[in-house]
Structure 1
Amino acid sequence: MQTRSLGIQEVQQARLAQAFDPHVAPLNRWAEEQRSASGHWLPFFDPLDGGVLARVLLLLESPGPVVSRTRFVSMDNPDGTAENLRCLLHLSGLRRREVAMWNVVPWQMSENGVVTPRPGQYTEAASLTRHLLSMLADLQVVVLVGRHAERAWPLVGSALPTLPCPHPSPQNFVSRRDSAVLALGTLVKARRMVSGKEKGATPIPEE
């Protein structure tokens, strides 16, 4: 299993050539439209993921700095968080074509470093998340990756089942030794839910 592959220019170009394949074209056309409508730069959905056919949405915090170079929200991005997520997905048995990735604050906030979203940005972005959900007709569960996704989710107002998941950043995995195990368990549960072997999920309480 290769990780960080979008750090290779040839891979980036090949991925961009697939950005409007049928299963991701509606999503990436929408992302382009939002760049003009909102004034925010939104990245593309990865065509190696499930696109509009996804049954699991991995909802993270906000695009990291490398996204400005690769142009994709992707577990193939050349950073530690993406690499950890790619490994966890592989270990969980959840097929990549069953998954879509996005962020509760979906626009690029900094090309130079990680910037933590503010609560007002959660509110501003909630309508975008609602619209995204309306395009994912087969979606069965949303995995809220990290505390920011958990805090922002109630503003979306969706009744979809959710699963909380520790953020897969290298810093979090080092400082909280059980985070990787818990994250893997969450993805295994998501796999079991979409395969019909497990029903329901624990809702995230509003704070």
Structure 2
Amino acid sequence: METSERLIESAQELLWERGYVGTSPKAIQERAAAGQGSMYHHFRGKPDLAVAAMRRSAAQLRAQAEAQLTTGRTAVEKATGYLLRERDALRGCRVGRMAMDPDVVASPQLREPVRETFDWLTGRLTAVIADGIESGELRPGIEPGDTAAMIVAVVQGGYVLARAADAQEPFDRAVRGAVALLAAQAVTPAEADAGAARASRPTADA
């Protein structure tokens, strides 16, 4: 593996484990088995390397999410697949964790990969929910963008609850609750049949 790749992968892991503030250039170099000169040959400094690592983590998160959101047949199955994907809640989200770091939040350069990732995820989920409403699978009363934001917030908030409790269960309860809320918004077969019957009735002349 090339030195630049080792540095990026090492930075990814350390940022996930320690956050930006707790990750020093020396720690990255030691884990990557790379010298200081090699690091500064490939990257201008810690912020430049951190952005590269965060963008790599963001791309991996998007690939995982896309896999779940294209697997199910229905909107509920797709969103449920995303929510119930197996996660180690105590490790947290490798992208979301960066939003808890004051140095990341204070830097537009460092914050941008985090913002882009959650904008993409919320938009992707919004499209899934909107498709479900349009197809008649979901009730039209729910707002796709708000529902998508809720799903993202449940996952990220679940990580916080799990880390605070030092247990997986609070995360699992949060996502189960979101799955139940989504299922409650699904149109039942009886409701779908009744709607189709109403639509097929002839209308009286005005």
User: Could you tell me the TM-score, scaled by structure 2's length?
Assistant: 0.31
Q: Which has the higher contact order (CA 8 A, sep 6+)?
A: 1
Q: Counting helix residues as a fraction of each chain, which structure ranks higher?
A: 2
User: Could you tell me the TM-score, scaled by structure 1's length?
Assistant: 0.31
